[in-house]
Amino acid sequence: MTDIPLLSLAIWIPIIGGLLVLATGSDRNAPLARMLAFAVAVAGFVVTIPLYTGFDATTSAMQFVEMTSWVPRFNINYHLGVDGLSVLFVILNAFITILVVMAGWQVIQDKVAQYMAAFLIMSGLMNGIFSALDGVLFYVFFEASLIPLYLVIGIWGGANRVYAAIKFFLYTLLGSLLMLIALLYLFMQSGGSFSILDWHQLPLPIEPQILIFLAFLVAFGVKVPMWPVHTWLPDAHVEAPTGGSVVLAAIGLKLGAYGFLRFSLPIVPDAAQQLAPLMITLSLIAVVYIGFVALVQADMKKLVAYSSISHMGFVTLGFFIFNPLGVEGALVQMISHGFVSGAMFLCIGVLYDRMHSRQIADYGGVVNTMPKFAAFFMLFAMANSGLPATSGFVGEFMVVLGAVQFNFWIGFVAATTLILGAAYSLWMYKRVVFGKVANKHVAELEDINGREFAFLAILAFCVLAMGLYPFPFTEVMHASVNELLRHVAVSKL
């Protein structure tokens, strides 16, 4: 069992499968491309299951480690491994990929093979990001994953797609290139090692620590995205096709947050401690201010995009209050947000496929024509606002609890999200779903078909399961989170 390179399989099955899908060529072979893509996505998910079942939750050490020399000239290794911080994201990513393939089944009729291939390749690259333990390997996956998403937004996106795609790419590229310099500096300081685990042990004076922290902050802050570098996200979400939005929200945003845990906190702990007030302030601004911004959106996708930024503010807040509840809560929130935001975008996609409008004002009374859909949408909107018994509650509650432990007023401000979240989610839901049938287009709506029912039901199950019994999720992170916090508490000066 341990001999099978599971992480490599999780990375390369989707990538190679994606290339095969690409090879099916033109749209005449579209059914074949779809079937193949689905098979590859399922296979990619299946190989990640042993990562959970075989995971040893009692240790914080890296597991399923693979190590081969890649570029000996610069001591770059193909070094993979997961711990409690990353393992769930690999699985989540593989899982979301299946839903994305299903969601694009009928809607995408143009360049089907390229669409499916882009998502599969992106999925493999993202698994690489979560499992890379070598700085350059991480960077390579991090950058390369921009290409498929750039193409997805640009080719299958909405009217203003080109602007959104280029903005997305350049924003992220700027951040990651500054990170590259920080990586090269660490490479030099550590005497020629790109291993992230070596860097965790590397003593550094405070000035370079702060500069490195800021370089990482630009890279990961853009990706999260944190206020004030968040403006690319609403554009990207609005213009992206449904699948693109789902992947971006469910996985893409997690990359930045994960980067904080893997790089910023353990490599430069003193700078992280010193700059924590800055990070907490930025996070709270995201939570409150962006929450208000979400409230006034007229476009459903934009609303969910802003709500994502607000939720991710919660995640970064959880990281920088340095207690186990905060960090674990943030991790739970990340996974929950993966399910919930993915589900919200899928729901909006379901409506958009029928009406070709995302404006809230064009809807009203959808419950009359799409009752099954309305039930699912209700659940996800509730989860998005953090209702108890849904996954959204668990993470938010833990972070608020941690924040109150840290400082009452920070906890107080953070807790306003529960009100704001409910306000924007439920108010949108009310305007779209309830009331009289607003116009003849809504009257002609057809309820969800079996395929749509399937992926919404799976997500609904996940949201409820995680909300009612979060233990299987928190169990695997305990050891790693405690180790991380113990490590951060020790000065490197």
Partner 1 sequence: MNFVVPDFYPAAAEIFVAVMALVIMLASTFARSIARGLSYHLTQATLIAAAFITIFTMEGEVVYTFSNLFISDLMGDFLKLMIYFSTAVALLYGRAYLGDRKIDKPEFYLLALLMTLGMMVMVTANHMLPMYIGLEMMSLALYTMVAFDRDSPRATEAAMKYFVLGALASGLLLYGMSMVYGATGSLEFSAIAQAIYNQSANQTVLMFGLVFLVAGICFKLGVVPFHMWVPDVYQGAPTAVTLIIASAPKLAAFAMAVRLLIWALFDIAHEWQLMLMMVAAASIVLGNLAAIAQQNIKRMLAYSGISHMGFVLLGLLAGVVDGDRHFALNAYSSAMFYAVSYVIMSLASFGMIILLSRAGFEAENIDDFKGLNRRSPWYALMMLFVMFSMAGVPFFIGFFAKLSVLQAVVAAGYFWLAVLAVVMSVIGAFYYLRVVKLMYFDEPVDVSPIHAPAEVRVMLSVNGLAIAALGLAPQMLMSLCAYALLGSL
Residue number with CB closer to partner 1 (114 or 391): 114
Q: How far apart are CA 78 and CA 104, in angstroms?
A: 33
Q: What contacts 182, CB < 8 A, 6 or more positions away?
A: 211, 212, 215, 216
DSSP assigned state of 226: P
Q: How far apart are CA 233 and CA 489, in angstroms?
A: 33
Crossing angle between the packed helical segments 269-295 and 471-489, to the nearest 10 degrees:
130
492 binding partner 1? (CB under 8 A)? no
Residue number with CB closer to partner 1 (221 or 421): 221
Give the nearest distance from C-beta 374 to partner 1 in angstroms: 35
188 binding partner 1? (CB under 8 A)? yes
Among 155, 276, 378, 422, binds partner 1 (CB under 8 A): 155
Residue number with CB closer to partner 1 (30 or 151): 151
Q: What tokens appear for 354 in the block?
A: 């029928």
Residue number with CB closer to partner 1 (27 or 362): 27
Residue 236 CA: distances (Å) to CA of 245, 283, 301: 8, 21, 10
x/- letters, 88..127, toward partner 1 (CB under 8 A): -----------------------x--x-------------
187 binding partner 1? (CB under 8 A)? yes
Instruction: Supply the Cα-derived Rg of the chain in whole angstroms.
Output: 21
Residue number with CB closer to partner 1 (172 or 384): 172
151 binding partner 1? (CB under 8 A)? yes
Cis peptide before 225 (omega within 30 of 0): yes
Residue number with CB closer to partner 1 (208 or 324): 208
Instruction: Let me know: does 232 contact 240? Beta carbons within 8 Å.
Output: no
Give the nearest distance from C-beta 308 to partner 1 in angstroms: 25
Residue number with CB closer to partner 1 (38 or 185): 185
Among 55, 139, 227, 393, binds partner 1 (CB under 8 A): 139
Handedness of CA 232, 233, 237, 238 (dihedral sign): negative
Instruction: Let me know: does 30 contact 108? Beta carbons within 8 Å.
Output: no
Among 45, 55, 150, 377, binds partner 1 (CB under 8 A): 150
161 binding partner 1? (CB under 8 A)? yes
Q: How far apart are CA 259 and CA 264, in angstroms?
A: 7
CB under 8 A: which stretch of 88-96, 157-165, 222-230, 301-309 binds partner 1? 157-165
19 binding partner 1? (CB under 8 A)? no
39 binding partner 1? (CB under 8 A)? no
**Measured distance between the N- and C-terminal CA atoms of the chain, rounded to whole angstroms:** 42
Q: Among residues 273, 352, 336, 282, which one has the least CA distance to residue 473?
A: 336
Q: What number of chain residues touch partner 1 (CB under 8 A)?
A: 36
Q: What tokens appear for 39 in the block?
A: 């098979």
Enumerate binding residues for partner 1 (CB under 8 A).
Answer: 25, 70-74, 111, 114, 136, 139-141, 143-144, 146-147, 150-151, 154-155, 161-162, 165-166, 169-170, 173-174, 177-178, 180-181, 184-185, 187-188
